[in-house]
Each structure stands twice: as C-alpha cells, then as structure tokens.
Structure 1
Amino acid sequence: MQTPIARRPHGDRPVSAWHHALDQLDLLEAEAIFILREVAAECRHPALLFSGGKDSAVLLHLAWKAWYPERLGCPLLHIDTGHNYPEVIAYRDRMVRRYGATLHVRGVEDSIRRGTVRLCDPLESRNAHQSVTLMEAIAEFGFDACLGGARRDEEKARAKERVFSVRDEFGQWEPKVQRPELWSLYNTGVAPGGHLRVFPISNWTELDVWRYLQRERIPLPELYFAHFREVVRRGDVLAPVTELTPARPGETVERVMCRFRTVGDISCTAPVESSASSLEAIIAETAECRITERGATRLDDRAAEAAMELRKKEGYF
C-alpha cells in the first residue's frame, strides 16, 4: 500500500509524492507523532519548548504533523537568556508565523529583576539559570507537560531520560524513580504540583535530525551553515568573539570559516571549523564526525560534563 507524504505548511511544496516502503526516518517520525498524540490525549495543558535550534525546529514540524489538519494543539514557550544570537531570535519569530503558532517568551532577565536569579558577574553564562525561569513560566501558565527536543546521543545525562520524564513540584528530576516504558506504554500521571518533560525525538541521532531537515525542507538559522566569524582558540575549541565573550588578554583573534552544530546562549556555544554550506555537505560531515555535538561545541559542558546531570536534577531542561 502506498503511503502519502504529509502535506507541507502553507501548501508551498507539492503533496503528490508517494513512497512504497518505510525507511528509518519514517519510523522515527511515526514514533514521535505517536508520542505527541499521547501528550495531546493525556495532558491538559502542554507546551512545546522552542529555542530556535535545529532539534526544536524538527519537534515543531512533527507537532504540526501530529495535529494536522487542526492548528497546533499547544503553545510554544521560549526561555530567553537575553544572550541569544540575533539571527536565532529572528528565525524563531519567522517559524512562529510559518506554523501559525502561539508563542510565550519568558526571560532570565525578568527572573533577575525579581531576585529569583542572582548572578555573580553580569557577563556570566545564564544557561544554567534558565531552569528557574522555566519553573516560573510553568507555574504562571499551569503547564502539566513540556515537550523538548533532547536526544539521547547528546551526552550521558540525557541518555538516562525516559521519553516521559517525571518532575516533582520543584521541577527536579530523579533518575532512580523514573518509570519503565515497556512496549511504548507511557504513564502520564504526576503528583500534585508536578509535571512531565516529554522528549519525542529521544531515539533520534544528530544525523537523523539533519537528514529529516533536508527531507522536509525545514528552514534553519544561517548560523548552522559555513560563514566567516572572528574566534579565538581555547584548546581544541573555537570561542566566538562577541561583546559578551571578548577575547582574553594574550589571545589571538582569527577570522575562520566555521558553522554551529548547535545554537544557544552566546556565552557557552562554540562553532566548529567547517566549509559545509549546504545540508548535503553538513550530512556528509556529520556522518564522518566522531565527536558528539556537545563535546565539540558546548563550552560549559566541556568544562564540567558531570554538571549536566546535576543541572537536570535541579530542573534544567
């Protein structure tokens, strides 16, 4: 039996293509859509965490397919550190318009003004502080589930996650009390004040994400493609030179061809040297890469890889 490929947003691409056999991307897509529909059926007020990165772009597209032909069945939530690349914020807003979504933005800066987040230095990374702002947003809107684009191949702590991750009233995660998910049966019950973090693309790899972006023609911020940028070398990592992250005394600023494998807070996201200026080139480069996405590009995680599990236990996404 021939299976139609789902319609693209706004009818901007043909819908007459057919294929005869399910490939790996089809199976991953079907699993993710099943998970999203479980959330729609079982949760009262979910939200999709959308940062403007490639994983959340894939998740947004999958959610659009899961609810089609109806509008998206949940709002988007962006926890803004205030230290994002302008290109990513502009892309976020374009995607909201593209999918006809509702977007809530809550900033770490607001938490700082309230006194719930306190910085040791005005220029320190705000990445870890996002969990406070997230919990405040969950309480404000009454979300009982937050959909995230985390993948299990990113780093060790995320590999311990279930698809439906139970969080207590403080947003804390305890790996030893997570529930079994045999035969794709999910327990969505939570204690009063608690909520779920749900990860529909848990079984995807970085390569799967890039291949899906190509297949579905999902746009991305230009930062993901090769461009020239001023950087300094710190060990084997390229640190971007910006107003927030200036070069340190004695460092040599270079202008190199590079791209980002992941985008996030400027203070902790590093590019990699690359000439890959198309999805085809990125896919080929990723297929040959032996260093994880976060191992190559996340300045804070490299400094203390074990910190991610601690952050997750404290409520980080």
Structure 2
Amino acid sequence: MGKPSPTELDRYVFSRTGAPNEDLLVGPRAAEDAAAIRTAAGTLVVSTDPVSLATESIGRIGVAVASNDVAASGAVPEYLVSTVLLPSRDTDLLDTITNQLDEACARLGMAIVGGHTESVAGLDRPLLSLTCMGYADRFVSTATATPGDRLLLTKAAGIEATAVLASDFRAAIDADDATVERARSFFDELSVLVDATVCAPVATAMHDPTEGGVLGGAVEIARASHVDVVLDGDSIPVRPETRELCAAMDLDPLRVLGSGALLVTVPADAAEDALDALHEEDIEATDIGSVEEVAGDDPAVVRDGRRHTDAIRDGMYVLWE
C-alpha cells in the first residue's frame, strides 16, 4: 500500500508522459503535486488525487486533498471533476458522498463541473478520484526552497489522521467522548486555502503534507529542491488530541496523514512577517526549521542529528492492511 518508489516513478511514470506541449510549464515530477499550464487566461494549475482509505468523511477529505494541492501551488481552487466508484449500488452511500462533496465545494467556492459515477465489482470500500483546477498569478513549486530560508508549518501535525482515527477507528481507541469529538472536529480544518493565500506572495516553496505527514512532506521538499531541511528540536506543534489518539494506535504524529497543515519555506527576513500575517487570520503557525545546503550524499531532513533521505511511509497504512 502506498506510492511507488522514486525509482519506479522515474522508470514507469515520469518517463512516459505522451506528446510534448510548449504550454506545459510544470509537468509530472517527484514531489510536485500539481501541473502548471500556460493559457490565455493565465497559469492554470491542475491536480488530481484519489481517496479510498477513510470512509466516514471521504467526500470532505477528498475535496480538501485535491484543492489543497492547487492552493499550495499559489492558485485559487475553482473547479472540481469528481469520479465516484462504489462497491455496490448503495444509494444511501452515494447520497452521503455527494452531499459531502457538494457542501465542501460550496464552502470553498468551488464548482463541481463534471465527473463519473458507477458501481465497480471487486471494491470493498468507495473510491474517489478528484481533479481540481484553478488559476495562479504566480505558481509556487515544491522544488524552489533555497538555502537560508526558514521552514514554517501552519496549524499542527497529524490533523487529518486525528480526525480519521476519531471516526473510522473510534471502537479501537480508549479515549473519552469529549476528546474524540474534539478530534472529529479537525475535519473542519483540512483546507489550507487561506494559509496558502497568505503565504504565496513571499513563499519560495509550499507543500501540502498528506501521505507521510509533516516528516514526509519535509523530505519531499528536501528531495525536490535538493536541499537539507533541518528541523529545530521539538518545535513541531502536535495537539493533545493527536498525541492521545496516535499513542492509542502506536503511531508517530509526524508520520501520519497531515492534510490541514501547510509547509512553507520563506526567506529568513520574511519569516516573522509571514507568521504575523497568518496569526492575523487566526491560523496557528510555527517556525520549525531551516533550509540549508546539502551536507551529505543526498538531500535530507535532519531531525535530532539523524538524516532522513528516503520517502516516508505513512503510519496509517497499517490500520487498513
């Protein structure tokens, strides 16, 4: 379960991209979650993502995940194409999913402009594949973090994982109802549209840490930008609900589904103003580290003296295997 290795992606995916197109500004490449296409109306940013592992709030999660990648590229998510595959002709399930898609898109000001819906033999849970599009005045890549930058994190680690644990895995967790309800409310914080809008003018790179969490997202920035990302000790914020639910399932909060947070690199002299601007929007934000020249054989995230160079496998996967 999980993504192919970087070597497999290079061999079987990134080397097979069809015909060249002169209007393609940014195409398929490692750690880049969105494409950028030159159009007469401006730079069109396009991203697609599947969601299959969380069932109770799959529509809400899907919209957040797809739109976050567009927002993290400096664009405003405007359009969504939705493919809904169901394990059976269950109209109640279809009603739940499409209602979630509708409400989540309406809240973000996005239009659902097309898609496909059907029942598919062999599925044991619903599967969504969502494509989001929007225009950017300035495309912000994952691959342009610069030595000397500071690394900022909005909100906290493991927000998405906490909400999924509180909903899909409630029966396996020994926690009081109040804690679980607070954790479930994290579903309302999965969008990073405002976070990205605030940071885009000064960001050198932005990345939505989904699979692999904050640590995985930081590794992807390091690999894409060919830099070291040095984390400052225990500076990464983890909410009490996240600590409790992750501990109950023996999970590392820094290595679990992280939608809802945004990783942003900014020039050092812009970091304080960026944090102030986020706080003015009532968005938690923390300076968690620095971007430096590569000090080893490969780009890495350096945490407590240890160099993390390989892609991070999300700890949540074991719960569905």
User: TM-score higher than 0.5 here?
Assistant: no
TM-score normalised according to structure 1 size: 0.26
Q: TM-score, normalised by structure 2?
A: 0.26
Structure (1 or 2) with the greater strand fraction: 2
